[in-house]
Every structure is written in structure tokens, then in C-alpha cells.
Amino acid sequence: MVRTRDSILRRMTKGFIWAVLLLNAIPAAASELRGVVVGVADGDTITILDASKQQHRIRINGIDAPEKRQAFGERSKQSLSRMAFQKDARLECHKIDRYKRKVCKVWVQPADCPTCGKTLDVGHAQVIAGLAWWYRAYAKEQSAEDRGRYESDEDEARLRKRGLWQDKEPVPPWEWRRRDHR
């Protein structure tokens, strides 16, 4: 079969389009970041200072905490501050959100274990304490193991009426924001 220049170009273009589509279907690999937590904005947002003295605004993956002016907002922020402020942190970041924050899973050394490494997942700890919701809308961005742990521990916090689950009808932050409370 004789191939014309046009048919070869069409085949190459088609192949290129398929390659681009396949590459876009592969989830982005997580990048690791290390630094010191130098700021806590609220119950799910921190600032990290890396070794090169660059600051990174971080949205903690897998959770949504009450907003500052929302019920339990200040308690959620205080809880995250106690766990992470001025501590060395290890972060696994997988995307940047619309506010230009890196979305990361964040680990620090537990306060009650001076010989442990960075083994405390602060997002998971916020859910266990009842000071953040497991953010189901973004569950697909978590591993199956994390989805199971976060869901189970949110159910447990609700059952035991920890933190925000003390309210009869706690309002999830995504609904609170929609009501234009920002």
C-alpha cells in the first residue's frame, strides 16, 4: 500500500492526540515537600516555610473544616495549631487548587511521642477530633485506605458527639459558604 504524505500526517496527528489523552488520564504523581509550619489560617489551611525560605500555602487534603466565623471554626483552627504550628512537616502534594494553594496530605510528629517520626496525619486527626468533615466531594483524590479511615472515623466522631457533632444539625462548610457567609 502506498501512503501519501497526507495519510501519514493524519495517522501521526491521530497518534499524537491519543498520546495526549492518555497522559491526561494518568493521575499526577504526588510531589513531596518538607518544611516548618509557620502559619495556621484555619482548620484546614496552613503555611509552610521550606529549606530555601520559600513559603507555601497548603490546603489539607481530604478534609473541610468549619470557616473561622462558623460554629467550631475557631476550635478547629486551635486544634490544628496545637498539632502542627512550628513543627517540621512532611507533605505529599498532588494538585494546586483554584486559590493557588497546594493540596497536600500533611504529617507531623505527634506531641505525645517524642521518639516517633512524622506519623501524625493532621487532616485525619482533625476528622477524629470532630473538628473537620471528611470532604467526600474530593474522596477520589485519596487512596482507598484513606477514604475508608476518614469515613469510618468521621462516623465514630459523629456517634460520640465529638467537636462539631455536638450540634444538633451542624452545617458543613461547603453549605455555609454557599449561604454567602464569607
Cα separation, 80 vs 85, in Å, equals: 7
Q: Given the C-alpha cell 449561604, which residue does it identify?
A: 179
Cα separation, 122 vs 141, in Å, equals: 17
CA dihedral 97, 121, 35, 75 (to 10 degrees): 80
- Residues recognised as catalytic: 59, 67, 101
Cα separation, 3 vs 25, in Å, equals: 31
Residue closest to 73 by CA, chosen among 173, 2, 181, 145 = 173
Q: 142 and 151 in contact (C-beta within 8 Å)?
A: no
